[in-house]
Structure 1
Amino acid sequence: MATESGLSVEDGVRELLLLMPRLVGRAKRLPVPAELADLSLAPRHLSLLSYLLFDGPMTITELAGRLKVAPTTTSLMVGDLSRQGLLDRAEDPNDRRRTIVSINDGKRCAVDAWLARGAQAWERALTPLTPAERQLVITTLRAYEQDVAECCAEDS
């Protein structure tokens, strides 16, 4: 039932439970550019590629920290995408033990095109909001993701 200032918690939960599968389903159906179609890309690769596209080259450890996964998991993903020619790995000139990861220059436009549709949709959705409202949306989605992750960890 709606309250004077908006939805009740129960109505909000109902709306989000109906919305989330559609949102995820549509995001998964974003067409992969032809240049990337032969690669074994999964949703988990989107975040990795987004960080490299938006923030530039970084080390495996930096990527792992941003992805909130173990460096070995990140290293496996990077190795797989490197073998497919999507990512480049280079020795850090300042510390030869470290590897710098970047998107292959020949694939950068295709990666940008793939991620641009989602970025444009978020930009259109967030533009009418105030900075505080944008932060609230992001904080809420992070809290939901964290709680679901904790529930999944308890069930395993």
Structure 2
Amino acid sequence: MSTPEGPDGWVDDAVRALLLLMPRMVGRAKRIPVPEALRSFSLAPRHLSLLSYLLFDGPMTVNQLASRLQVAPTTVSLLVGDLSRKGILERREDEADRRRRIIGIAADHQSAISAWLAPGAAAWREALAPLTPDQRRMFVDTLLAYEAAVGGREQD
């Protein structure tokens, strides 16, 4: 076991703990069952992120979704087209600019998508609730830094 005296003492202990924890977290998240009403749609993790934004933040444009997902608008357009053909998403005209389309979750699927995302959201709320706002921000920033570091190494 590392000691705090070493330059990487407790950091190494934390890294070890996280390397053991992350696969368990991912495994548990993957075991959250897709509601029966959505099983036939072959939804993937890329769909989950898009649906999460629409569920929590409400309808938005393709460009807004692309910005939040940090992908190209053409990528979002393909996802939206796929989910629209399946009836999961709806496109409607933007009243302020009729050239733009607003994307939202179809009313028929709103409750199933909400039920699918609810266990994960509830778990995060329970885990984050005891933390101060600054601690929550640090936690999220740390996960974002980890994602960026892993992403940068994947490109090597």
TM-score, normalising length: structure 1: 0.92
Partners of 1:94 and 1:40 in 2: how far apart? Answer: 34
Instruction: Name stretches of at least 5 consecutive residues in structure 2 with no aligned partner.
Output: none
Of 93, 96, 99, 1:97 maps to 99
Structure 1, 88-97 or 20-29: larger mean CA deviation: 88-97
Of 28, 31, 37, 2:39 maps to 37
How far apart are residue 25 of structure 1 and its match? 1.3
Partners of 2:124 and 2:78 in 1: how far apart? Answer: 29
SS at match of 1:102: strand
Partners of 2:84 and 2:107 in 1: how far apart? Answer: 12
SS at match of 1:106: helix
Instruction: Name stretches of at least 5 consecutive residues in structure 1 with no aligned partner.
Output: none
Give the number of aligned pairs. 152
Q: Deviations over 1:21-57 (max 9, x none)?
A: 1111111111011111111211111111111011111
Partners of 1:3 and 1:143 in 2: how far apart? Answer: 23
TM-score, normalising length: structure 2: 0.92
**1:49 is aligned to 2:60:** no
Partners of 2:121 and 2:131 in 1: how far apart? Answer: 16
Aligned to 2:89: 87
Identity %: 61
How far apart are residue 151 of structure 1 and its match? 1.4
**1:60 is aligned to 2:59:** no
Residues 28 and 43 in structure 1, CA contact (< 8 A), matched pair in contact too: no
Aligned to 1:71: 73
Alignment root-mean-square deviation, CA: 1.4
Aligned to 1:136: 138
The one-letter amino acid of 2:122's match is Q
Check 1:108–1:149 CA distance in 2 against 1; reply closer, same or farther (3 A cut): same
